[in-house]
Amino acid sequence: MARGGADGRQAERGIGRRLREAWYGSPLYAWRIARRGPDTAAAVVTDAWPGDPDAGREILEGAFAVLGQTVQVGADPWSAEGLTPAALDTLHRFDWLRDLRDLGGDAARRRARDLVAGWIARHGRWNRVAWRPDVLGCRIAVWAGTYAFFAESAEDGFRHAVLDSLATQHGHLIGVLPTLAPGPGQIDALRGALIGAVCLGGDPDGLQPLAEQLEHAVEAQVLPDGGHVSRSPDRQAAVLAGLVDARAALRASGRDSTPVLDEAIGRMTGVLRLLRHGDGGLALFNGTTEETVWKLDALLARTESKVRAVASAPNTGFERLTAGRTALIVDTGVPDASSGVAHAGTLAFELSVGKERLVVNCGAAPAEPRWDSVLKASAAHSTLVIDDVNSTEIRPDGSIGRRPSMVRTERWEDGGALWLEAEHDGYLGSHGLTHRRRFYLAAGGDDLRGEEVLTYTGAPGQKPVEAVIRFHLHPRVAASIVQNGAAALLRLSSGAGWRLRASDGGVALNESVYFGDRGRMQRTRQLVIRLPLDRVREDGAVSVKWALRREDRRGG
């Protein structure tokens, strides 16, 4: 019987992929794509991203930083065994060449040459991991951008080997570009293709098709408000960095950037600034950690954009309320079904005061897959959860099923005070309820009030029992329950005090975890307000109000 439907198409794609990989791994294909590079780099697309000299010193000792963890690989990482996929990905991308470059000195340069030569000897022919298009694009970009550091003063044999390898890798990348699915990896591949073409000095007319492919990718991935379609702050930064590098490659070739590229960079800059807290790091939505502040600063500087943080990104689904030194960032979007990083965090919020984070989400642990489903759950976000059921269904493979069909948002301002109201129907099918969340932020930024409203609008799939409102706290926030459980006192590391009160039900203090700092787990606490629902009429609504206000240091 012939296969049909989605399963059949998936099987056909799997067969096609295996056939392609068998061809790529064959000696005939290796011979076919082998290229002779130029005698010297035709043009330099300087890698302007900063490195970390401390990480460079560790590389001299055989240690690499992988997703916030140090991995010992010894003198020859290409012969190391038992490395995780994340470690292999990091090694083959070669971003760490920047760390050796910024460390500087003969020892760093020799180490870089040894590592590049070792890679060419071990991986000069196609394999699934090292030649994955996004990894390949990144490696080409870094080799070309740091060529002056590690290769320009080397012996002729080494320089020719590097340029020949670059030409061969670039030839394969150009061939697979049309097969790439939309996503950040496609941008990485196109960036590498452009930089490689400029470095290798190919036909100038060959840049035009690459520029057009990049424009098509931008139009598919960058939403009208400037947000990335994945709704991930981390991917927002990564794609923006790729576009900035692609623009630099076009300029290095003597061409102008394109209006599509320039406009996308400007729009994306405004949304990236929306997603930053006062400490300069990113808000923790949809697979994101805080990121390194100086790297984000460098990215924003290279955008050459004066676009300020937008207050509202309605297409992407984020809102930002700022008053005084306080910043409130709220997820008001429908989870993206195709990104693989979607979290069930609809209407979750994060709150920072100056450079200190107060209320957070739990973050992401890219180096710890066992935490993935836990951190994607609604309960890992500062939002309302009904009966411990996710507002978006997260399947075991990371895809999503049931999810909100809409998120309605309205905001207004009066005299410097800000209001935001948002509503979603993610619990309509499972519990017959919609969740409406209202925020009020006073003009001075020292008074945040919220209201949670649950309304019966359909026949429930199951009778709701309890709603839980969670406020996950940053690890540097000290918390204690006061007034016999009627309130909680929060103390920031600066000494500033905040008090949380609820109109109905007590406030409890529970354990939580935080993965915001480069994906490393830290123990922290969360405040919890419980709202019984079992006796609420099915034609009615139930609400609870809460207030988070700054207090004098003597308060408590």
Write down all domains in the chain, each with its CATH number in brackets. Answer: 183-311 (no CATH), 318-551 (2.70.98.70)
pLDDT at res. 392: 95
pTM, to two decimals: 0.94
Query: What's the pLDDT band for 3 if we cut at 50, 70, 90?
Result: very low
Per-residue pLDDT at 74 exceeds 60: yes
Mean pLDDT within 283-293:
95
Per-residue pLDDT at 238 exceeds 80: yes
Per-residue pLDDT at 189 exceeds 80: yes
Coil, helix or strand at residue 437: strand
Query: What's the pLDDT band for 537 if we cut at 50, 70, 90?
Result: low
Distance CA 366, CA 372 (A): 8
Whether 67 and 86 have beta carbons less than 8 Å apart is answered as yes
Distance CA 350, CA 526 (A): 13
Coil, helix or strand at residue 366: coil
Per-residue pLDDT at 534 exceeds 80: no
Neighbouring C-beta atoms of residue 398, cutoff 10 Å: 15
For the chain, give the percent of residues with pLDDT over 90. Answer: 76
Distance CA 494, CA 498 (A): 12
Per-residue pLDDT tens over the stretch 466-483: 999 999 999 999 999 998
pLDDT at res. 202: 73
Distance CA 520, CA 513 (A): 10
Report the candidate in 241, 253, 247, 313 with the shortest Cα–Cα distance to residue 283.
313
pLDDT at res. 344: 96
**Structure tokens of 472?**
């996950």
Report the candidate in 426, 267, 427 with the shortest Cα–Cα distance to residue 335.
426
Per-residue pLDDT tens over the stretch 495-528: 999 999 998 768 999 999 999 998 899 999 999 9
